[in-house]
Amino acid sequence: MQRSAVLVKPDGLQRGLIGEIINRFERKGLKLAGLKMTKLTDQQLDEWYAHHKDKPFFPKLKGFMMQTPVIAMVWDGLDAIDTIRKLVGVTKGREAEGGSIRGDFAMSVSNNLIHASDSIESADKEINILFADNELFDYASAVDLLIYSEEERGA
């Protein structure tokens, strides 16, 4: 099983899409391991988006991400990182495939509603930035018996 960090960004919160986004993850069969509302700090965003720090859009991106609190989540599942990236869609909303979150609800390359980890390394980093160990939960899910095969449950 893998863990992925997900944020509902300020535009998702303002547009009332928190429930819609969580609903898609739940329906898919992903398991919620942690959830909080938090206001990202300048320092957290420098770390979170370190690989974008030289991009021209970096200062605006930080400002956008600090406009309101965000909803931070950790979701568990088999190959959760790639699976969630597919549910989210490509960065530019107007190019994202219909059926994906950005494809269904976003038009912008910057105001694209949601963040999702893109690798195991970034998931580890992002989870550490936002969650303490005692804020993450590992619990038996009754529906995992239906969602995965026996072999997959052992993976």
- Of 5, 61, 101, 123, the one binding ligand IDP by CB under 6 A: 61
By rule CB under 6 A, what count of residues binds ligand IDP?
Answer: 9
- Of 18, 20, 28, 118, the one binding ligand IDP by CB under 6 A: 118
State how far the Cα of 2 lies from the Cα of 127, in Å rounded to an integer. 12
State how far the Cα of 118 lies from the Cα of 137, in Å rounded to an integer. 22
**Token pair for 11:** 């535009």
Q: Which CB atom, from 76 or from 126, has the smaller least distance to Mg ion?
A: 126
Question: Dihedrals φ, ψ of 49, to 5°?
Answer: -110, 30
Cβ of residue 133: shortest distance to ligand IDP, in angstroms? Answer: 26
Q: Which CB atom, from 129 or from 147, has the smaller least distance to Mg ion?
A: 129
Stretch that binds ligand IDP, among 11-19, 105-113, 124-132, 135-143 (CB under 6 A): 105-113
| Residue 153 interacts with, from ligand IDP, Mg ion, none (CB under 5-8 Å by kind) | none
Cβ of residue 143: shortest distance to ligand IDP, in angstroms? Answer: 29
115 is annotated as an active-site residue: yes
Question: Dihedrals φ, ψ of 114, to 5°?
Answer: -150, 145
For residue 143, CA distances in Å to 31, 80, 93, 103, 137 come to 10, 16, 32, 28, 16
